[in-house]
Structure 1
Amino acid sequence: MTNFFQNIEPLRFDPGRTGTAFRHYNPDEVVMGKRMEEHLRFAVAYWHSFAWPGGDLFGGQTFERPWFGDTMELARLKADVAFEMFDLLGVPYFCWHDADIRPEGTTFAESRRNFEEIIDYFPAKMERHKTKLLWGTANLFSHRRFMSGAATNPDPDVFAWSAATVKLCMDATHKLDGENYVLWGGREGYETLLNTDLKRERQQAGRFLQMAVEYKYKIGFRGAILVEPKPQEPSKHQYDFDVATVYGFLREFGLEDEVQMNIEQGHAILAGHSFEHELALASSLGLFGSIDMNRNDYQSGWDTDQFPNNVPEVALAYYEVLKAGGFTTGGTNFDAKLRRQSLDPEDLIAAHAGAMDVCARGFKAAAAMLQDGTLEAMRDERYAGWNAASSKALLSSDLEAIAALVEADGIDPRPRSGRQEISENVVNRFV
């Protein structure tokens, strides 16, 4: 045991407690026939929780953590503290990038050895602490070698380095029985078209993703391959802008049946969408996989990665998750970080506990809305006209025939209310 979280007890469901506790998240509460823990499948993000030093665009490190440093001893200490936190929170999953869990070596081979040593350190901890891997991924954006992208880089040596890194991380994810593997193109985009061959870069990105899918089958990895959309930042334009853009990309390279999506609330907002829009679209395209549950500060206009605290927003998101059938291999990953003034170990626990409560409240509201059925009934009523055989025939007809029909039958449409405010009032009954 380390002493980082000393005097902090494991959290429990205790609505009457004055200190840090779960007031809404009861992992054993049964909702729609399943335990809440099995529905929500919470995961802690290794990078923000244990690797982020508290800097921002205008200031450096504010956090002082005993495991910060570039030695294997400190990497093991970081793992020790991480699994202690997983126990305190009672989360069933965690997620990592390779760079989160090992120090950078002076060569690829040294970085690989460091990484594999920590991967070998994890299994005993995962067994003892009953925490599983939701997904692994590669950090192909932080190091200066990735300043012009990874798969899309104009330098083929960077493409090769990136491919080798993804192989390493996929091997590790497979070894740890991870349930998904995520590819997030943190710098797979451009800052100016003046020096960018857009077609070439898209082709490189497409082939890179095809290689990852091919390797999944080669090693027998049974989890899902996920892509995480993001519109911009740090690049001016990312090739994985939003769900619709990624779908077109997957279709272009024949991957629409092989890859699903990990959708982040903050990225959805940056793309000009709502979180529920991106979830609904991914579900309608058969690509819904997993979520990163975080939010942005709507005043700042950039990706602040804050823990969720808005129950109505979360409820609408989980409503779409439930309509999609819920999670299979995916889950709710807190890709969120403390504010740089929140220095204490207790802050780290309280942030996750509060987020888990917000998700639980939102999820139960979403389940109640779905079981109530009013919203679905109103939607069905709005499109009821399309149930008639004559209406369905319109879609297999042509413009000339339809024009003749309109004149012959004297069709004269009268607008009908979309009842938006009534729908919003229905939501407000539950949140």
Structure 2
Amino acid sequence: MPSGFFEGIEPIRFEGADSKNPLAFRHYNPDEIVMGKRMEDHLRFAVAWWHSFAWEGGDPFGGPTFERPWHPQDDMGRARIKADIAFEMFEILGQPYFCWHDADIRPERGNFADNLRTLEEITDYIGEKMQVSGTKLLWGTANMFSHRRWMAGASTNPDPDVFAFAAATVKSCLDATHKLGGENYVLWGGREGYETLLNTDMKTELDHMGRFLNMVVEYKHKIGFQGTILVEPKPQEPSKHQYDYDAATCIGFLRKYGLENEVKLNLEQGHAILAGHSFEHEIAVAAAEGMLGSIDMNRNDYQSGWDTDQFPNNTPEVALAYYYILNAGGFTTGGTNFDAKIRRQSIDSKDLIAAHVGGMDICARGLKAAAAMIDDGGLQAAISDRYSGWKTPEALAMLNSDLDDIAAQVLAKAINPTPRSGRQEILESYVNMFV
């Protein structure tokens, strides 16, 4: 039966660009065909269980502001209420997927045996609701950063008992993800880093982290999990320096430990900004190396130096993100997870729905703009023209030559290059034509 939490809120419908209704889609029409595929199948939206249901509205300077029927989140009865309301929201939004950490869906019991028991119990309950609703699991993961046991890391912890607890926890979460038909499994190293080098053996920690991830991949194959294993880059917060700093760092790590063909990246807009990059940069880096897996869609407050996890509202940023995703072939097992939370002053259930509606619309606008840019071909034509000199036989032969021969050619032909404009401002204006 409906809980009453979303009382008066009907399923969200597509009303078109002229609608003024904050609880209607203006741009997201799941059945609209974009580049030969339904919009829903391109975007593969997912609700983040943690920000939407587990977060209570606190911040470093103040406690919870939300009063929800499942608070406090300390017993299985309220965990079921939280699941009931989550699936009501999925139905209202027409969301095809959701994502969770274990600590979001079950209460923390302080020991592994009880955490395992409650995880199995709640995932059985969630599985029943999935069968009725048709909503699927995009990915599951383990929260190995909130509890005090993780204060010095999980796989990188100096205490082998914590490493063991982490391994058992990931096994349980991968089992649960497999049981629920999850399409990916994510490892986010929230505290896999260091506060000071004065007490850190970095080589040992990195080696342990590499072995841990290899264990996860080995177990994936052992149980027949067909989903993708993903790691999520983040440069800082809470650790001073985290080992999964950005996409390039993660790719180097995966190659070092022989995982480049087994693991892909789950990239977040907010984390890209903290690393000093744009979101499209991180996507392009991962795509260039064949390691683009999935994305967390949010944004940061550009006046803040930390990860604010706000819903996306910048169409040009989102359009460029999807431009590089589409150019890489689009998502396979990945999708668009809203790792975003409403502000702590937005206390009504309507705010939770409206935030997702707005985010889904921005993504739809960005996707259509990206598809239009690809169809027009202007950006690709500009890049092809800029690198056209490398298409000549002489230029290609130079790559197989040596410095002596190249220097001799420069002297013989009196080569004296004339710089060509990169036309950045023209291309920036070009992008704005589509957004």
TM-score range, shorter chain: over 0.9
Structure 1 position 227 matched with structure 2 position 231:
yes
Q: What's the Cα RMSD here?
A: 0.7
How far the C-alpha of 1:106 sits from its partner, in A, is: 3.7
In structure 2, the CA distance between the partners of 1:299 and 1:19, relative to structure 1 (3 Å rule), is closer
Match 2:131 to one of 116, 127, 131: 127
State the alpha-carbon separation in 1 of the partners of residues 67 and 21 from structure 2: 28
What is the correspondence of 1:262-273 to structure 2 with a 5 Å cutoff?
262-273=266-277
State the alpha-carbon separation in 2 of the partners of residues 41 and 427 from structure 1: 24
In structure 2, the CA distance between the partners of 1:192 and 1:106, relative to structure 1 (3 Å rule), is closer
Match 1:65 to one of 68, 86, 108: 68
Q: Show the counterpart of 1:52.
A: 55
Q: Show the counterpart of 1:14.
A: 15
State the alpha-carbon separation in 2 of the partners of residues 412 and 300 from structure 1: 47
Q: Show the counterpart of 2:102.
A: 98
State the alpha-carbon separation in 2 of the partners of residues 355 and 19 from structure 1: 11
Q: Show the counterpart of 1:380.
A: 384
Q: How many residues align?
A: 431
1:59-82 C-alpha deviation (Å, 9 max, x unpaired)? 111111110221111000000000
SS of 1:14's partner is coil
Gapped regions of structure 2 (runs ≥ 5): none
**235-244 or 123-132: bigger deviation:** 123-132
Q: Show the counterpart of 2:280.
A: 276
1:193-223 C-alpha deviation (Å, 9 max, x unpaired)? 0111111100010000000000000000000
1:2-32 C-alpha deviation (Å, 9 max, x unpaired)? 1110111010101335341101100010010
Give % identity.
Answer: 71
SS of 1:380's partner is helix
Contact 2:102/2:141, CA 8 A, preserved across alignment:
yes
**Partner AA of 1:142 in structure 2:** S
SS of 1:430's partner is coil
What is the correspondence of 1:13-412 to structure 2 with a 5 Å cutoff?
13-15=14-16, 16=19, 18-69=21-72, 70-412=74-416
**Partner AA of 1:63 in structure 2:** F
Gapped regions of structure 1 (runs ≥ 5): none
State the alpha-carbon separation in 2 of the partners of residues 181 and 138 from structure 1: 9
SS of 1:298's partner is coil
State the alpha-carbon separation in 2 of the partners of residues 17 and 130 from structure 1: 30
How far the C-alpha of 1:386 sits from its partner, in A, is: 0.2
State the alpha-carbon separation in 2 of the partners of residues 4 and 370 from structure 1: 42
**265-274 or 53-62: bigger deviation:** 53-62
Q: TM-score, normalised by structure 2?
A: 0.98
Contact 1:51/1:68, CA 8 A, preserved across alignment:
no
Q: Which stretches of structure 1, 4 residues or more, deviate above 2 A after TM superposition?
A: 15-19
**Partner AA of 2:57 in structure 1:** G
State the alpha-carbon separation in 2 of the partners of residues 359 and 117 from structure 1: 35
How far the C-alpha of 1:359 sits from its partner, in A, is: 0.5
SS of 2:372's partner is helix
1:329-369 C-alpha deviation (Å, 9 max, x unpaired)? 00000000010000000000000000000000111001000
How far the C-alpha of 1:255 sits from its partner, in A, is: 0.4
